[in-house]
Amino acid sequence: MSACTCTGSKIFRLASALAIVAAVGSLAVAQNSTTKAQARAADTTTAKTAPKSDPYPLATCPVSGRPLGDKPVIMEIDGREYRFCCNDCPEKFKADPAKYIPAIDKAIVEQQKAFYPLTHCVVMTEDELVEGEAVDYVYNNRLVRFCCKGCIKKFNQDPKAFLAKLDAAVVEAQLATYPIDVCVISGEKLGGMGEPVNMVVNNRLVRLCCKGCEKSVRKDPAAALAKLEKK
């Protein structure tokens, strides 16, 4: 009778131990699933709040240096749009982006600096931009100028908010001298279809007859901006 009781006790303890192991395992799986779900949710939130990249503004391929032509290969890499002359160049770019990005950024600064609307830092608005000391920073094909490098970190914490302020400054600075009274896409008279749409592309104001024309501007921003230069 004693041996039977002992055996029963061992079986009970073993069953209890197995039950505990199973419970711990289930809890770990549940916690892991929750963590993954939270990570996916965070990624989704970031994707929704991050501002969309401005179109690649240069007329040449960043890899080959050749003209992009009428049908460039458009690719978004790390949230930033790039355009290439052929299907071979994107892979070369992705293999060593640090080789190409500094030259792209330098060209963008030179291209957009003349149209930059602010004379003060977009983050520390009380600080004026002093030539020779101001920091030129390219964010997703957009020139943003700061009073110091420390402001770059603050900008990157909420780029959407700061770019909205920059957009407003572009419109305010360029609206009065906007050179044409027709939509650069449709050719329709501005105001003929309601209030014109003010679109900011690469720090330039582009006025459109309707929001439907925005897609065409993004597809070929150089062509749209060229129509402003001719006037």
What is the per-residue pLDDT for 22? 52
What is the per-residue pLDDT for 50? 64
What is this structure's pTM? 0.76
What is the per-residue pLDDT for 49? 56
HSE-up (13 A, CA, CB side) for residue 39: 6
Pair 129, 145: CB distance under 8 Å: yes
Number of helices and strands in the chain (H, E): 7, 6
Rounded-to-integer distance, Cα 229 and Cα 59, Å: 15
- Bridge partners (DSSP) listed for residue 83: 74
What is the per-residue pLDDT for 38? 42
Distances 229 to 133, 189, 204, 206 between C-alpha atoms, Å = 30, 18, 11, 12
What is the per-residue pLDDT for 52? 86
HSE-up (13 A, CA, CB side) for residue 153: 3
Tokens of 191: 């105001």
Which strand (E) or helix (H) includes residue 101? helix 101-112
Rounded-to-integer distance, Cα 56 and Cα 67, Å: 13
Which class for 227: exposed (0-12), middle (13-18), buried (19 or more C-beta within 10 A)? middle
Q: What is the pLDDT along the chain (231 residues), one digit of tens a residue?
A: 444 444 555 544 545 555 544 554 554 444 444 444 444 444 433 444 567 899 999 999 999 999 998 899 999 999 999 999 999 999 999 999 999 999 999 999 999 999 999 999 999 999 999 989 999 999 999 999 999 999 999 999 999 999 999 999 999 999 999 999 999 999 999 999 999 999 999 999 999 999 999 999 999 999 999 999 865
Please identify which residue in the block is written with the tokens 């920073």.
137
Pair 80, 141: CB distance under 8 Å: yes
CA dihedral 49, 53, 200, 171 (to 10 degrees): 50
